[in-house]
Amino acid sequence: MREIVLDTETTGFEPAEGDRIVEIGAVELVNHVPTGQTFHVYINPKRPMPEAAFKVHGLGDDFLRDKPLFEQVAQDFLDFIGDAKLVIHNAAFDMKFLNAELGWAGLPKLPMTQAIDTLDMARRKFPGSPASLDALCRRFMIDNSARTLHGALLDSEILAEVYLELIGGRQPDLVLGAAHGQTADQGSAQVSAPAKGRPAPLAPRLTEAEATRHAQFVENLGENALWRRV
């Protein structure tokens, strides 16, 4: 099973008001294991960056000026995601922007059924609790100290860890499902070392008096006692 954990950064909140995507980051999972395959691109939005948005992600006009336009990277993006499920935190927001950009580029839009919304998952699993990405990192003890600003690829990598916790944490199928010849200890999955026998047995904790009383108890059970058949 192939899934793509995805995030975008934008100039604002509404493509209908002229806001555009400025960054896309995506991480591939196969059978819930990160494969190391990613998609990451900065995009020239063809408009000035509002100060409020700049404070969120730090992507300014000078940095984005020489970056490709969305229509120049759109097909590469579609080829990367294919028909995989898209794991997105607040999927309605990112899908709204992606479909607006795809429409402006004259390309097919993505169906909402292709998206898995981790924000909705978190709210259903922990009703009444904060469900932001930072809050979920605190809940699951995931290190997000590098997230001083929003960044699409970093946020996708963090979200991949959050998603695995939301669906039940690290499972045995992470080992069995390692893809493309990779071992399951790559990415964020963890593999436990095989259990080893104790080099020397522990000293008995049963006292001599307790052992004597137990022997007397078993003797009084009789010859046909179930204890004697074990």
Q: What pLDDT, on the 0 to 100 scale, is given for residue 207?
A: 72
Find out whether 140 and 159 touch, Cβ atoms under 8 Å: no
pTM over 0.85: no
CA distance 222 to 215: 12
Report pLDDT for 68. Answer: 98
* Residue for token pair 């940095």: 63
**Overall average pLDDT of the 85-93 stretch:** 98
Strand order in the sheet with 21-30: 33-42, 21-30, 2-10, 85-88, 115-117
Which of residues 187 and 132 earns the better pLDDT score? 132
Question: How confident is the prediction for the chain on average, in pLDDT?
Answer: 85
Share of residues in the chain with pLDDT > 90 (%): 69
What the block records as the tokens of 96 is 């709204």
Q: What is the mean pLDDT of residues 97-113?
A: 97
User: Structural domain boundaries of the chain?
Assistant: 2-176
201: three-class secondary structure by DSSP: coil
Tens digit of each residue's pLDDT (9 = 90 or more) over 7-18: 999 999 999 999
Beta 2-10 vs 21-30: how paired, if at all?
Answer: antiparallel
**Rounded Cα distance, 174 and 188, in Å:** 10
Q: Is 140 in a helix, a strand, or coil? A: helix
Asked if residue 197 has pLDDT above 60, the reply is: no
Q: Rounded CA gap, 53 and 76, in Å? A: 26
Q: Comparing C-alpha atoms, which of 99, 76, 101, 96 is closest to residue 26?
A: 76
Q: For domain 2-176, which CATH number applies: 3.40.1710.10, 3.40.50.620, 3.30.420.10, 2.60.300.12?
A: 3.30.420.10
Q: How far, CA to CA in Å, does 51 sit from each of 48, 54, 74, 212? A: 9, 5, 26, 82
In contact, 78 and 107? CB cutoff 8 Å:
yes
Catalytic residue ranges: 150
Structure tokens at 158: 């963090």
> In this predicted model, what pLDDT tens digit does every residue of 45-83 receive, in sequence order?
999 999 999 999 999 999 999 999 999 999 999 999 999
Q: Which residue has the tokens 């059970």?
A: 221
